[in-house]
Structure 1
């Protein structure tokens, strides 16, 4: 996309058809819904139905006014299609069903029909999971490239995702609008006290951002005070384009105040019960002497169950005075037979059979009760429990439940693709990456094994939240565990969180056990470090010297001499620095990057009391 105009720089891109399944290997997107509508026609209930695929990169108004370019070079015009269908309809009218951004597009369509005196061609608008006033997850994508799932099961890398989003005018429509802040009271951005050590956001915005004026200022780089980061620096908050943001504000000013013509029925359907991003919390980094630049900001998701994993309920049901319905995804995804895998969320919500039946009922002017759909927003049962996992790199996470269902990254057979694949087979599960942190979640009633695999030298922290229906949250944290590539840590979770069993080199033997909620003790951390160095690809003489010095530090620790232990560790750091210098003999040299990571591990061990 052109960064100035937002126009496509490749004139060869076209729109083909609605997505039934993604590239043949991801989960269905609209496949079952499309088959359901075909059957609806065959039953004689309706004469025809059409899917209108469109180029979602383009502004809504442009899609409606200029049409969508198709593969054969022709242009599909949604207004013309509505006119054609109305002519052949028994009632002379059509019903519009808009999923996600499609609901916003439908509002623009009806607005154009009103202006041409043709609003009578549409008798109802059904919006499903539409971010009518925006949703915070879009903010994370535009600021950091986080959480950009092209389709269910496909994850785009952050640099590409952020670059795509910031130059796509339509993406700005998904940001929380002014009306969002009038309806939703919780802040979309929070600043930890320690963030001032990197950048004093708190002196500009206070502890949080919960108003549109401050939000707009933050998106535009504190009104120009903060510069746009380099393309590969996705940890610094992006500075968005004023032109596109202003255009989206104008769009929302129109859509957020839009009212349907008196004759038209409006149905809003919101997905409920899945962990959904409601905000971002910024903090300083957790390394010793954290450098004071924005690229060292840490960020954490703030989650709510009041959504469908992408769109929060207040946005999907934002129109006052119009009918609201809630699809209980948490309950629908929770079958009695746990071997039957269901994990519907925003991306494939129309694949939910109850929703398909409900939409058919509405089109036939029936308001019959459908299981899992209600006019009252559901409440969390007191006995309910779900698990939320947060893993700080450099570690990969895989979760496997008692039935063999998997959550986590899987191999993409296309070696040339920069798109990664993931699975979320466990009922009500999800997998997301925000910054260097991996997030996953699943039902708490299902026994699960968590497998953590080291991908690099460093330390990791693994947090588990057991969230109960009573509102109580029990946190278990395994903190600052030294890790190397190939190391495996496993935790069994059933009624409670089990011990972490660590296998340093992946040979199948358990080398260490850390109890739930414990930081690795100084003694255990030194033992792990000692074993890790033994497996590093460096000269044996260097290994022996470092292991010997770590052994001396352990002896001081056994005597209770913490200061002397840290002094010995300082000597280990000095040795590592010496062996990493360019003038060190090549056969003894420790690669610079590896040396820096070892030093960070040692510095964290020094901080343990």
Structure 2
């Protein structure tokens, strides 16, 4: 009985506890595992790239590149605040309207996989969920819970509260530009030959710039060994924006040359503007040691000074890949000028199948893809102007260096050039003593690569017959091994075609006088040799020499002929510099092609993948000229520089660069050009016009000035010839050209501002009496010993008298009919009288030279600085004038 009462009492107490004690339960009962994570500390969305396990924090206003179709853990978050959980609803925004399309929902405590599949703008609506509120269950539910289990929630939660909407943009990482051609590559710029500065660190680590040079002593540092290695450890660090930009006298130089020393400065500014406007992310120039073969440049890299001052080898391939990694398209457009185009081709070949991974497009400007004839004279004769820099250098020094530079050989016409260009690169006059031998051996016109190579290598041993190695008129044999290497390089590059996925565009300059053929003829000059001279006659002789001049064409940029510049490119363009300079009054030649805004605009069009017909000066078809304008060609021969100034003050010619050993070229006259061969300078200008010509001496010697008319059919006639003008380092010669008619040149020999001589014309048909009087004036200015000068003056006076008052010696009758004097000169009988006297005068000059040579060997003569006879230069000058007078009789 007691036990039964105890049981019932315990049951009542237990039931009462159940009804009185609150029943508490979790708000969510989960019987599957959940990926709980830490909450985000920022407001936005976190998406983890499963390939690299890196989370991307997507916040308001951002743009993010992600791979598509790859599920990554995704989580929504709200910074700070007191809330139980976060919800995020993601919408894609239409590109044409503001319509929203549901994409996915996300949580704040757990991550869910999500894969992106569409580019564009997104909006993420963020909600916070308040904490759950605890509550007491009613008594009737407690009993129910006791009987049937936990079926009721113990939390009462409010609806999610909207916090904010964040906006961001998604890009496809594998196609960052979205639609094809909708964004622009980074740019890799490869400059031309001689357009990267070269440096050398000497004693104590002091840096010395050897290119571009200031002094002739800089040139030997460029020398290379016969095996193609450098004699000095040169390095680079920058491309040339403007020649002589480092010179302390830069402001003075700029006033003289203005834009004529411009190289890449304006093009660099153009690329900087593309970066500033966000058209491209970045650009990079690759300065390189341009002395090497282009394939070696790519393979071996270039010693380069880095920002920390160290010198290390920098490889073009690595520069390309780094630039591609930061590009919007993950690819690069290569823009190359001149020789840089050959480097670009070599780079693509070196990369092989990987090239299209990094390169989208190649644009070459003025590239001698098959070589160009203007390089022949540079290699064989050291023709004065450098390929790119516009410096006028000493030909002898240039030639001793350049014949071992592999890159210079790459610029010679290749086998492919001869297969596509009909014009001969070399012509030898057949009926001359020296050039005739070359014509017999190599053909009067060189139109085959084999004959051209044999000529360059001097396979017949004829070069030695034309003079010594110091004689610039004589060609020097080129290295057969380096020629073979250059031929192999061109064999590889010339057959190159752009691989699939890489576009290739070639831009050629057109309208500038460009060398297409070298013409070799035999000339003669007076040579008095002091080493063999004696006190007997005939110590001076007429020595033949091989002279080369150029035949030019307008089908080029002044250096590279356009067939080579476009090569086999399917996408080829021509820059009409003739129309451009007429309308814009700006002269563009090979050196400054990249500074021309039509070139720059075309490059931008290509970068933007827009049509390239926006520039009227850039054409797909080669320009044509209905008529070739008649021009004047004013040339000087010997140690002088020529400057021609037109009526507008524009100048063309060669001027000394202050603070250097070198001269620079100005080409400011519209329709004009400047070329340099050996010590000869040629300035071409339109015939119609008034021009003031100044010829300045830079050494002692004698000069010849020639004015020629170049007709529209290519024919050349000499309109004026002023020969045997004495010069010094301070002398000047000035005259006026008016529509092709020359005034008599005035000579200031000593630079005191006073006219010392007025030069008589020696063109065929000129007045011999005027010329013999000019001879007397010249001799009077030579500063000779009085007795020597008096003897010469007496002999010339006798000749002058016979020219002015001719006598018929054979019949004893005096001729008084002076109006028939010209016809008398043509009479062989009179010539028989004058020529013996001229020969006697020549022998006297030779005897005086021999006397001077012997006396100069006497110690007493030298001790007291005594003068006697004639020097070598004086004797050669006088004999030249005697021969010139003979030609006029």
Normalising by structure 1, we get a TM-score of 0.91
Deviations 1:293-330 (A, max 9, x none): 88x2111111111100100001001115x111000112
1:305 pairs with one of 554, 570, 578: 554
Change beyond 3 A, Cα 1:75–1:545: same
Q: Which residue of 2 aligns with 1:234?
A: 472
2:870 pairs with one of 587, 590, 593: 590
Q: Which residue of 2 aligns with 1:401?
A: 646
Change beyond 3 A, Cα 1:113–1:205: same
| 2:473–2:547 contact (8 Å) kept in structure 1 | yes
- Aligned partner of residue 193 in structure 1, secondary structure: coil
1:552 pairs with one of 798, 801, 821: 798
Establish whether residue 14 from structure 1 lines up as the match of residue 222 from structure 2.
no
Offset at 1:230? 4.6
| 1:146–1:158 contact (8 Å) kept in structure 2 | yes
For residues 380 and 21 of structure 1, what CA distance do their matches in structure 2 show?
A: 33
Offset at 1:19? 1.2
For 1:116-265, what aligned pairs fall within 5 Å after superposition?
117-149=354-386, 151-197=388-434, 200-222=437-459, 226=463, 230-265=468-503
2:266 pairs with one of 26, 29, 32: 32
- Aligned partner of residue 50 in structure 1, secondary structure: strand
For residues 488 and 260 of structure 1, what CA distance do their matches in structure 2 show?
A: 55
For residues 252 and 292 of structure 1, what CA distance do their matches in structure 2 show?
A: 43
For residues 292 and 198 of structure 1, what CA distance do their matches in structure 2 show?
A: 17
Q: Which residue of 1 aligns with 2:594?
A: 350
- Aligned partner of residue 70 in structure 1, secondary structure: strand
Structure 1, 307-316 or 225-234: larger mean CA deviation: 225-234
For residues 197 and 32 of structure 1, what CA distance do their matches in structure 2 show?
A: 47
Change beyond 3 A, Cα 1:492–1:100: same
| 1:191–1:207 contact (8 Å) kept in structure 2 | yes
Establish whether residue 602 from structure 1 lines up as the match of residue 882 from structure 2.
yes
Offset at 1:110? 1.0
Establish whether residue 499 from structure 1 lines up as the match of residue 742 from structure 2.
yes
Establish whether residue 88 from structure 1 lines up as the match of residue 88 from structure 2.
no
2:655 pairs with one of 393, 410, 423: 410
Offset at 1:412? 3.0
For residues 405 and 77 of structure 1, what CA distance do their matches in structure 2 show?
A: 44
For residues 522 and 292 of structure 1, what CA distance do their matches in structure 2 show?
A: 22
Normalising by structure 2, we get a TM-score of 0.63
Q: Which residue of 2 aligns with 1:578?
A: 847
Change beyond 3 A, Cα 1:263–1:38: same
Change beyond 3 A, Cα 1:526–1:505: farther
2:777 pairs with one of 512, 525, 531: 531
| 1:490–1:500 contact (8 Å) kept in structure 2 | no
- Aligned partner of residue 123 in structure 1, secondary structure: strand
- Aligned partner of residue 362 in structure 1, secondary structure: helix
For residues 600 and 553 of structure 2, what CA distance do their matches in structure 1 show?
A: 26
Q: Which residue of 1 aligns with 2:14?
A: none
Higher relative contact order (Cα pairs below 8 Å, separated by 6+ residues): 1
Structure (1 or 2) with the larger CA radius of gyration: 2
| 2:744–2:758 contact (8 Å) kept in structure 1 | yes
Q: Which residue of 1 aligns with 2:511?
A: 273
For residues 884 and 457 of structure 2, what CA distance do their matches in structure 1 show?
A: 36
What root-mean-square deviation, in Å, do the aligned CA atoms of Structure 1 and Structure 2 show?
2.7
For residues 723 and 693 of structure 2, what CA distance do their matches in structure 1 show?
A: 16
- Aligned partner of residue 74 in structure 1, secondary structure: strand
- Aligned partner of residue 484 in structure 1, secondary structure: strand
For residues 502 and 99 of structure 1, what CA distance do their matches in structure 2 show?
A: 42
Change beyond 3 A, Cα 1:65–1:300: same
For residues 388 and 439 of structure 2, what CA distance do their matches in structure 1 show?
A: 36
Offset at 1:459? 6.0
Deviations 1:219-276 (A, max 9, x none): 1102556559754222211101011100011001110000111222111100000001
Offset at 1:4? 1.4
| 2:641–2:655 contact (8 Å) kept in structure 1 | no
Deviations 1:96-138 (A, max 9, x none): 11100000000011112224x3423211110100000000111
- Aligned partner of residue 497 in structure 2, secondary structure: coil
Aligned length: 596
Deviations 1:445-483 (A, max 9, x none): 553222345665546250323444xx4656333236332
Offset at 1:557? 1.9
Structure 1, 131-140 or 510-519: larger mean CA deviation: 510-519
For residues 372 and 550 of structure 1, what CA distance do their matches in structure 2 show?
A: 60
Unaligned ranges ≥5, structure 2: 1-222, 246-252, 254-259, 528-539, 807-823, 825-829, 856-860
For residues 435 and 843 of structure 2, what CA distance do their matches in structure 1 show?
A: 28
| 1:459–1:601 contact (8 Å) kept in structure 2 | no
Deviations 1:26-80 (A, max 9, x none): 6220001110111011111111111111111112122111211112212222111
| 1:481–1:525 contact (8 Å) kept in structure 2 | no
1:56 pairs with one of 290, 297, 300: 290
- Aligned partner of residue 450 in structure 1, secondary structure: strand
Change beyond 3 A, Cα 1:174–1:107: same
Structure 1, 482-491 or 528-537: larger mean CA deviation: 482-491
Offset at 1:522? 2.1
Structure 1, 545-554 or 152-161: larger mean CA deviation: 152-161
